Amino acid sequence: MTEPVEYVEGDRVEVVVGAPAHGGHCVARIGGPHGRVVFVRHALPGERVTAEITELHRGYLRADAVEIHEASPDRVTAPCRFAHPGGCGGCDLQHVSDDAQLRWKTDVVREQLTRLAGINPQDQDRIFVRVEALPSAPDRLVDPRGEAAMPRQPRLLGWRSRVRYAIDALDRPGLLQHRSHQVVPIDRCVIAHPAVQELDLLSRTWPDTDALQAVASTGGDVAVLARPAGSQAAPPADELGDAPAGGALLRLAGPAEVTEIAGGRAWRVPPEGFWQIHPAAADTLVGAVLKMLRPAPGEVAWDLYGGAGLFAAALAERTGARTTVVESSPTGVAAARKNLAGLPNTEIVEAKVDAALGRRRVTGPVDLVVLDPPRSGAGAKVVRQVAAAGPRAIAYVACDPAALARDLKTFREAGYEPSEIRAFDCFPMTQHVECVALLLPT
pTM: predicted TM-score of the whole model, two decimal places = 0.93
Residue 241 has pLDDT above 50, yes or no: no
Contact yes or no for 293/368 (Cβ under 8 A): yes
Go through 208-240 and write b for each residue having 16 or more CB atoms within 10 A of its CB, e for each that does not.
ebbbbbbbbbbeebbbbbbbeeebeeebbbbbb
Q: Tell me what pLDDT residue 32 has.
A: 87
Q: Cα separation of 302 and 368, whole Å?
A: 6
* pLDDT, average across residues 136-152: 47
Q: Is 88 a catalytic residue?
A: no
As a 3-state breakdown, the chain gives helix, strand, coil percent values, each rounded to 5, of: 20, 30, 50
Contact yes or no for 188/142 (Cβ under 8 A): no
* pLDDT, average across residues 28-34: 92
Instruction: Fill in the amino acid letter for 166.
Output: A
Looking at 26, 88, 189, 399, which residue is catalytic? 399
Residue 390 has pLDDT above 50, yes or no: yes
Per-residue pLDDT tens over the stretch 57-72:
999 999 999 999 999 9
> Residue 323's closest CA among 334, 53, 310?
310
Residue 159 has pLDDT above 90, yes or no: yes
* pLDDT, average across residues 127-139: 81
* pLDDT, average across residues 327-337: 97
Calculate ∠ Cα 411-302-436, nearest 5°: 50
DSSP symbols for 225-261: EEEETT--PPPPPSS--SS---S--EEEES-SSEEEE
Residue 152 has pLDDT above 60, yes or no: no
Residue 331 has pLDDT above 90, yes or no: yes
* Beta bridge mates, 55: 62
> What is the CB-side half-sphere exposure of residue 106 using CA atoms within 13 A?
16
Split at pLDDT 50, 70, 90, the class of 33 is: confident
Residue 418 has pLDDT above 90, yes or no: yes
Q: Cα separation of 183 and 117, whole Å?
A: 37
* pLDDT, average across residues 13-32: 96
Q: Tell me what pLDDT residue 169 has.
A: 96
The proportion of the chain whose per-residue pLDDT surpasses 70, expressed as a percent, equals 92
Burial of residue 241 (number of CB atoms within 10 Å: 0-12, 13-18, 19+)? middle
Q: Tell me what pLDDT residue 38 has.
A: 98
Q: Cα separation of 213 and 234, whole Å?
A: 14
Rounded to the nearest integer, the mean pLDDT of the chain is 93
Contact yes or no for 66/12 (Cβ under 8 A): yes
Split at pLDDT 50, 70, 90, the class of 5 is: confident
Q: Tell me what pLDDT residue 230 has.
A: 85
Using CA atoms of 296, 298, 300, 301 in order, give the dihedral in degrees to the nearest 10. 40
Residues near 384 by Cβ (< 8 Å), separated by ≥ 6?
A: 410, 414
Longest dimension (CA), the chain: 74
Q: Is the peptide bond before 185 cis (omega within 30 degrees of 0)?
A: no
For residue 23, the tally of other CB atoms under 10 A from its CB is: 14
Q: Tell me what pLDDT residue 136 has.
A: 72
Per-residue pLDDT tens over the stretch 74-121:
999 999 999 999 999 999 999 999 999 999 999 999 999 999 999 999
Q: Cα separation of 436 and 102, whole Å?
A: 16
Sign (positive or negative) of CA dihedral 91, 96, 102, 104: negative
Task: Report the SS3 class of residue 35.
Answer: coil
Residue 137 has pLDDT above 80, yes or no: no
Contact yes or no for 121/29 (Cβ under 8 A): no
Residue 145 has pLDDT above 60, yes or no: no
DSSP state of 40: E
Quick one: how many helices (H) and strands (E) in the chain?
9, 21
Q: Tell me what pLDDT residue 247 has.
A: 60
Residue 411 has pLDDT above 50, yes or no: yes
Residues near 285 by Cβ (< 8 Å), separated by ≥ 6?
A: 276, 310, 397, 424, 434, 436
> Residue 12's closest CA among 60, 69, 65?
65
